Chain A
């Protein structure tokens, strides 16, 4: 067998295209005769629309069509609910999703009101600017607590309140646990809004071929197959008449799963109606308003412990800001509920949330997808408890770990995949130990930190733990084919947004089929190539689609072995697949190219045995019974300027356990990128709204993504606890980097500013906010 590629640091297949400017993203699609779309969007967070004057726009040269909600007729529909509410103990859910264009009322700044289609983007934008919308402004629902007051305006009057959902889940009996506790810590914790800000904004190009009666849509989506299915249903077409292609996608991070965005249905609709190809590319300003946001929760939380530090129970009641609509169901707050418990034994847990409608951009999952909030709450409560108990914060964590022999560990409440939250496997102490070693915890605490503090420097250390539910179902599929050239094609339905799927999937197949990596072609995200699947989200691509690739490749391997055995007149058990050949083990002369086997599996004349399937090809699906739980620790040493409260990260360590690594190079990259986003989330990025619901910093000038000067070098360590839930033993890695950074900053900054007695109960922070907390008497 050729060198195993699983586990190797293999260079990515897709890079040369991307590096030379020859990779096609949606904005790079150009079709002759193409029309362009611009939207007139709401300037108000909350207002009744009393009139729309389209006359000027309609009469402009080059304008082909101008549509309001009225003009859409029966096509105007609230978007489907993407994820239904979970079957939890107590669930109220008020489904409200948005129509493609606002009708009678706008509910957030940037909500689309009118679509303009013109011969060029410039003409469309100019025409959209001439449209005059008359508004009757309404009070905006902005703050979470204010949304629940009796005199609050209502985002959806017919709901009767601003409650989009109310869910209660419990494990055991928290109240009884609390009564037995030696120590109860209660705090109010805030986690504010941010945005994913992928470098590529959203975009859609649609082309309807009236002769072939076939619709092709290029969409910067993370979930092309559900988009295809939905569009087919909306337009009364067969799924085979619609092809959705997610070409190279310039970063997704969650918001590009959302379906259906209004633009995703309107652009194809216009293409069909106008019999011309139609293109819409979001600009950065629109992206700040119209692509979904995340974060935004207010927690009232409690932890009950014994005086020895054993956790007896946790109670967490929180408000979740879902924005103007709730199309993605409850994935984010459910993730919060389920991730909060972390790697710890928490015998009793009461968790309740209200998802609230506000006059702000819709909230759907963004990298971490609610997990951050839960980890923030738990880790903060533990840090505060450790102080109260006079315990070392890491020792407090250690004595509460779920032990390796206790897996599978069931936390009883319902997870985002509607199964009871169960950790499949884990081993947390080695993760903690390795992180402590790598950050140099003991040496720092004993020697370095006292020395630096004596010099007057404000230096602090932090270490936090987390688990991450990954790799959830329902399923993905893959088809693996050996072509008659001997080259291998793998097709799968998920989309890819930079995760290196082209390489990881090729590695899995290369090992099964004994073919070189360079001979493997991968297609992802094209419904014309593969018809079944769900999408890339929840750190599931490598786990679920990777396992499907593995199964399909194994099936092809079996076929090849069988054929080769006949061809070489040898026993199947003696055949090995090496470098594109099937050969008899120990007799390398006796061999046949896979190409020959592929050709003979596809005869052009003659007869085959009954039941024969043509081709050296197989399709397989993988659906895990539940998600697999990864875990990790992040540690950091930070220095704060004692006067300006600017900070410098002196060292950053991540120890991560996502099972065996398919490609460490790619996993490292996923972790690096996640941490960078986590750092942004913790200290640089915050969407700031005023009381009228206006977003005040919708620009990269004031919504600050960390640059290369702000992200530190990271030292990475891996533990590999395999998952029993899939044949590769792998767990997801996509979101891990981003999840625990908020509480890590809080812990390390408190340590750095220990003299101030600062207690950090909110994320994001900034130099200004930190100064206020310490100096402004705001703490």
Chain B
């Protein structure tokens, strides 16, 4: 099915709000699309129109003024995970953002989008709720209103947002001197996995907050634990008691990711570990200092261009390409069906396998989660653009040398991720960054080790042996 009938790319917030007012429930704002496109593709949500706000300038800004950090609605997870202000004064948000999905998803998915999807398992909600963040909503009819996250969630996947409203920004009271916080999640796989539970703890002048995800219909707070925490400084005894009270606040259910009992145990353990880390001041130790983002610059890919008509014109692999009949498709399908570029593969259509990884305006993304129209006026690089004639990219040569290919179906995606790592980091990158870079790419044949070896071989000094980590 086509994902939607109409695609709008407003040039200003006012234009976007006017479109929302006109289309109401039949439309939805699209930013990163990492949740929305999956819902449309799976048929769990039907929309007449999407309003793609990624061409509105300035919405990807992070600002800090008078103790408030403001995130625009296009701030991606990777931006949040790398921004110095967020790292310094909203650290738990950076931690959570870094734990979301894979690099390709973090390059597209936005923090605001995550808030709106409102899954109780979403990673960025607990830290924002714990930070006391507010969302500022706008509508053409009623102007702006500010809602505390405490009031924003009204039920399972339900938010206080009218069909004619959009989130204009998130306002986060920045952590001050002596105020600290931390976030942790537990998942069934080390990377790119939905949280079984997640926990954020915030210690502030104004009091303490503890928030929990994936243990109730919405992200919740642990009031009894917060109250105890507010009573005095952390001690080994109080840590144990606060952790216990935190776990008591959880009212989880059994599901495919774990039993309710296990979740309560996991909350207890995570809370205790976070409190201990905050007690000893070691909460930042686990945050990676080297991060593979698969981008060249820290910005949402905003290409300034008019909205497409029925023709989508892009620069693909250095050539001007016009795609006809691609409207309403994913960029993956458009590339394959309308641009004749079959090297990009479809493995899952839900952003989980990475076979469709391409570069959109220089940033690695999952093309199965990008509306085709987004490529209008944009620069796209696919696997076909990586080699020049018969001269293979050094990475392609290294994959051959190290026998990193078996069936080859996932290979283009791995190459696009790894080649972007090389562009981002040059020839200096760590084993951890290699694993980060390909954490969004699934391979069912090779067991990954030879792929890792092939990438290692391109760094200076070359190091063919991978120490166990």
Which A residues lie within 8 Å of B343 (CB)?
20-22
Contact A672 B259 (CB under 8 A): no
Contact A11 B408 (CB under 8 A): no
B450 close to chain A: CB less than 8 A? yes
**Can you name the residue of chain A whose Cβ is closest to the Cβ of B390?**
A16
Which A residues lie within 8 Å of B259 (CB)?
768, 772, 776
Q: Which of A284, A676, A697 contacts B348 (CB 8 A)?
A: A284
Q: A643-B269, A709-B435 are in contact. Are A251 and B407 (CB under 8 A)?
A: yes
Mark out the residues of chain B between 373 and 395 whose CB falls within 8 Å of any chain A CB in the assembled complex: 382-384, 386-387, 392
- Complex-state Cα separation, A11 to B401, whole angstroms: 6
Q: A708-B439, A714-B449 are in contact. Are A199 and B353 (CB under 8 A)?
A: yes
C-beta contact mask, A549-566 vs B, less than 8 Å → 1, else 0?
000000000000000000
Closest CB in chain B relative to A689 CB, distance in Å: 10
Q: A20-B386, A21-B383, A643-B269 are in contact. Are A711 and B449 (CB under 8 A)?
A: yes
B201 close to chain A: CB less than 8 A? no
Contact A11 B403 (CB under 8 A): yes
Contact A284 B262 (CB under 8 A): no
Q: A284-B348, A705-B444, A712-B468 are in contact. Are A700 and B407 (CB under 8 A)?
A: no
Contact B407 A675 (CB under 8 A): no
Contact A251 B409 (CB under 8 A): yes
Contact A18 B408 (CB under 8 A): yes
Contact A200 B1 (CB under 8 A): no
Contact B442 A707 (CB under 8 A): yes
A498 close to chain B: CB less than 8 A? yes
A775 close to chain B: CB less than 8 A? yes
Mark out the residues of chain B between 404 and 440 whose CB falls within 8 Å of any chain A CB in the assembled complex: 405-412, 415, 434-435, 438-439
Which B residues lie within 8 Å of A252 (CB)?
407
Contact A708 B186 (CB under 8 A): no
- Complex-state Cα separation, A685 to B383, whole angstroms: 30
Mark out the residues of chain A between 3 and 19 whose CB falls within 8 Å of any chain B CB in the assembled complex: 9, 11-12, 14-19
Q: A669-B403, A708-B452 are in contact. Are A20 and B384 (CB under 8 A)?
A: yes
Which A residues lie within 8 Å of B355 (CB)?
199
A253 close to chain B: CB less than 8 A? yes
Which B residues lie within 8 Å of A201 (CB)?
347
Which A residues lie within 8 Å of B449 (CB)?
672, 711, 713-714
Q: Which of B342, B382, B386, B450 contacts A669 (CB 8 A)?
A: B450
A650 close to chain B: CB less than 8 A? yes
Closest CB in chain B relative to A440 CB, distance in Å: 13
A692 close to chain B: CB less than 8 A? no
Q: Which of B387, B392, B445: most chain A CB closer than 10 A? A: B445
A608 close to chain B: CB less than 8 A? no
Contact B382 A21 (CB under 8 A): yes
Q: Which of B262, B344, B452 contacts A771 (CB 8 A)?
A: B262
Q: Interface range on chain A: under 10, 10 to 19, 20 to 34, or 35 or more?
A: 35 or more
Q: Which of B383, B409, B450 contacts A25 (CB 8 A)?
A: B409
Among B9-17, B173-181, B192-200, which stretch is in contact with chain A? Answer: B192-200
Which B residues lie within 8 Å of A702 (CB)?
194, 256-257
Closest CB in chain B relative to A695 CB, distance in Å: 10
C-beta contact mask, A756-779 vs B, less than 8 Å → 1, else 0?
000000000011100110011000
Number of cross-chain contacts by CB at 8 Å: 239
Closest CB in chain A relative to B4 CB, distance in Å: 12
Mark out the residues of chain A between 638 and 673 whose CB falls within 8 Å of any chain B CB in the assembled complex: 643-644, 646, 650-651, 665-666, 668-669, 672-673
Among A84-92, A121-129, A355-363, which stretch is in contact with chain B? Answer: A121-129
Q: A643-B269, A704-B188, A706-B189 are in contact. Are A19 and B435 (CB under 8 A)?
A: no
Contact B447 A675 (CB under 8 A): yes
Which A residues lie within 8 Å of B190 (CB)?
707, 709-710
Closest CB in chain A relative to B337 CB, distance in Å: 8
**Can you name the residue of chain B whose Cβ is closest to the Cβ of A699?**
B350
Closest CB in chain A relative to B105 CB, distance in Å: 11
A269 close to chain B: CB less than 8 A? no
C-beta contact mask, A239-262 vs B, less than 8 Å → 1, else 0?
000000000111111000000000
**Can you name the residue of chain A whose Cβ is closest to the Cβ of B344?**
A21
Contact A200 B256 (CB under 8 A): no
Q: Is the interface of A mostly helix, strand, loop or mixed?
A: loop
Which B residues lie within 8 Å of A714 (CB)?
447, 449
Contact B407 A775 (CB under 8 A): no
Contact B405 A18 (CB under 8 A): yes
Q: Which of B352, B392, B399, B444 contacts A198 (CB 8 A)?
A: B444
Contact B409 A19 (CB under 8 A): no
Closest CB in chain B relative to A314 CB, distance in Å: 32
**Can you name the residue of chain A whose Cβ is closest to the Cβ of B399?**
A19
A108 close to chain B: CB less than 8 A? no
Contact A708 B342 (CB under 8 A): no
Q: A250-B345, A499-B406, A651-B468 are in contact. Are A669 and B446 (CB under 8 A)?
A: yes
Which B residues lie within 8 Å of A28 (CB)?
336, 342
Closest CB in chain A relative to B254 CB, distance in Å: 9
Mark out the residues of chain A between 492 and 526 whose CB falls within 8 Å of any chain B CB in the assembled complex: 497-500
B203 close to chain A: CB less than 8 A? no
Contact A669 B445 (CB under 8 A): yes
Contact B439 A707 (CB under 8 A): yes
- Complex-state Cα separation, A362 to B264, whole angstroms: 36
- Complex-state Cα separation, A122 to B43, whole angstroms: 12
Contact B193 A704 (CB under 8 A): yes
Which A residues lie within 8 Å of B444 (CB)?
196-199, 251, 253, 673, 676-677, 705
B69 close to chain A: CB less than 8 A? no
- Complex-state Cα separation, A17 to B191, whole angstroms: 30
Which B residues lie within 8 Å of A250 (CB)?
345, 407-410
Contact B415 A672 (CB under 8 A): no
Closest CB in chain A relative to B185 CB, distance in Å: 11
A212 close to chain B: CB less than 8 A? no
A745 close to chain B: CB less than 8 A? no
Closest CB in chain B relative to A377 CB, distance in Å: 26
A696 close to chain B: CB less than 8 A? yes
A573 close to chain B: CB less than 8 A? no
- Complex-state Cα separation, A31 to B25, whole angstroms: 40
- Complex-state Cα separation, A708 to B453, whole angstroms: 12
Closest CB in chain A relative to B13 CB, distance in Å: 32
Q: Which of A700, A707, A713 contacts B466 (CB 8 A)?
A: A713
Q: Which of A199, A283, A712 contacts B443 (CB 8 A)?
A: A199
Closest CB in chain A relative to B405 CB, distance in Å: 5
Contact A666 B403 (CB under 8 A): yes
Closest CB in chain A relative to B323 CB, distance in Å: 15
Which B residues lie within 8 Å of A499 (CB)?
406
Q: A19-B399, A250-B407, A767-B258 are in contact. Are A708 and B451 (CB under 8 A)?
A: yes
- Complex-state Cα separation, A460 to B457, whole angstroms: 33
B441 close to chain A: CB less than 8 A? yes
Contact B352 A700 (CB under 8 A): yes
C-beta contact mask, A680-699 vs B, less than 8 Å → 1, else 0?
00001000100000001101
Contact B1 A199 (CB under 8 A): no
Which B residues lie within 8 Å of A200 (CB)?
345, 347, 407, 409
B104 close to chain A: CB less than 8 A? no
Which A residues lie within 8 Å of B438 (CB)?
707-708
Top-5 shortest CB links A-B: A21-B343, A250-B409, A498-B407, A18-B408, A672-B447
30 CB-based A-B contacts, threshold 8 Å: A12-B400, A12-B405, A16-B392, A16-B396, A16-B400, A17-B408, A19-B392, A20-B343, A20-B392, A21-B343, A21-B383, A24-B342, A25-B409, A199-B410, A199-B443, A250-B409, A251-B409, A283-B349, A284-B349, A497-B407, A665-B403, A672-B450, A673-B406, A673-B444, A676-B448, A700-B350, A704-B189, A709-B435, A711-B448, A767-B186
**A250-B410, A284-B350, A708-B451 known, 12 other contacts, Cβ within 8 Å:** A15-B400, A19-B383, A28-B342, A197-B444, A198-B407, A251-B409, A644-B269, A676-B447, A700-B352, A707-B439, A709-B189, A711-B448
What residues make up the interface of A, taking CB atoms closer than 8 Å to B? 9, 11-12, 14-25, 27-28, 122, 125-126, 129, 196-201, 248-253, 283-285, 497-500, 643-644, 646, 650-651, 665-666, 668-669, 672-677, 684, 688, 696-697, 699-702, 704-714, 737, 766-768, 771-772, 775-776
